[in-house]
Amino acid sequence: MHTSCASMDLVFLRQASSVSRERSRVEGRVMRARNRNATLTSEAYADPEYVDFCQNARTNHVENFHSMEIEYLKSVKMAMVTCWYENISVGNYAYNLVRALQKAGKVNLKIITSACICSRLCLKKNKFTHKDFRFISFPYLFSLETNQKWLSPLFDLVLFVLQFLRGLNYLRECKHHDLIHYQQSSSYSFGIVPLLPLLSIPLSKRLIVTIHSLDKVNFRFRFINRLYNNADCIIVHSLSMKETALQMGIRNSKIQIVPHGTLIPKLYEFERNEVTFFGEPVKRKGMPLILDALKILKDKNVKMLIHIYGIYSETEKRSTVATARQLGVEDRLIWGGRLSEEDFDKKMQESIFTLVVYPYSISGSSILTRAMSNATPVIASNIGGNPEYLPIESVLVPPHDPKCLAESMIRLLRNELLRKRLGDESRSQVHKLFSWDIVAGKTLHIYFDVLKHSLENNKKRTRARTAST
């Protein structure tokens, strides 16, 4: 995306000059160079192994497994430690991944979960995606806060100890399993602290960690991050997140890129008549930027309504309304609230375009991939994994530039042919790279490679002991 929004054409082509920083050499592996005069494709962000995978994605890697490999994976006891709340973020991700894994390889996978911050967002506190799971009952004090600064370190210590003990419970529950797949998704119940026992206590089990997001402990105590190297594999959803992991001290050989999967729904002939935002209307989702852009549009006498859907609290809604009122755009917000999975896709297909303008770098976004799967045009912030997921022609804006966002919204609103082309290309991209079958195939290969490497090491140790005797 060009840095000057005032000179933007109606067609938004991502040029290399818009993301000009060079990819560094990563432990001897030369990343694909960025040519300033070349248009970037999503593969240009990926390392060679991921590019090879993407090029062969349509053939489905699972089909390339030998029957003996499939049978071997069926015999392995696996556990996935994850949020499991219904239709919420990582819980939804884990459910779709498990379904795809079981469809592809009939793996023996046990779900281990616990109360997490998502319990605040569920209408029913015990509403989980599927009945087949093991629930770890343990105190959850996500709201343990104080206005007394001298008490904050004590409260932080209490939370740290509780989450570490939660991790010990995860480890105990996994004692009879050969492979553990941990979904790191939030501070507290599925953050880095509950993961520490699995990383720091010597195990005969294989450990795979998918990092959906980092938490404050990752940033406050950076020395802890090197413990990730004790895992057998670290999965991330984008090259951007891989570079972050490398900067954290995780070895390149440990990191694998697996895209964020999505279901591909049937397209219906719904009239596209809404500009939408999906998610919590908070700063980390880019809502202040959207409100500032609405103010600019209002000053230009452009009336545009934003329909807000998702799981959010009344406090978050009141705060957003108060800010919108101060800017004079309260009447530009239409509150739609929580949606079922079916209604989510319906509203996506009724969207003229949707906004994914997060102000911070993200590994992968389910909102982004689901918009793409529903052929919905997206205006996204030009950071993190967003440019890697979107097709060559896409609408990207700087994460802190409301003027650029406002102009992009106007141009996209007034160009129906461009919207149709962007939507069609996005859906095609999903078919090629981001279906759950593709993600499951890549994940099964990682499982097999980790277990195979473990078997080879065990054989070497056995031969060494035999030779010494």
- Round to whole Å and give the CA distance between 140 and 302: 47
- The SS3 of residue 243 is helix
The pLDDT > 90 percentage for the chain reads: 57
Note the pLDDT of residue 44: 37
Q: What is the mean pLDDT of residues 23-30?
A: 34
Domain coordinates in residue numbering, the chain: 42-260+435-461, 264-433
Note the pLDDT tens digit of each residue in 404-461.
999 999 999 999 999 999 999 999 999 999 999 999 999 999 999 999 887 776 666 5
Note the pLDDT of residue 347: 97
CATH number of 42-260+435-461: 3.40.50.2000
Intrachain domains 42-260+435-461 and 264-433 with the same fold: yes
Note the pLDDT of residue 9: 35
Structure tokens at 90: 């990582």
Which residues make Cβ contacts (< 8 Å) with residue 203, sequence separation at least 6? 171
113, 140 contact by CB (below 8 A): no
- Round to whole Å and give the CA distance between 460 and 443: 26
Q: What is the DSSP letter of 392?
A: S
Q: What is the DSSP letter of 277?
A: E
Structure tokens at 43: 């593969």
Phi-psi region of 34 (alpha: psi -120 to 50; beta: other; left: phi over 0): beta
The CATH T-level fold of domain 264-433 is: Rossmann fold (3.40.50)
> pLDDT averaged over the chain?
82
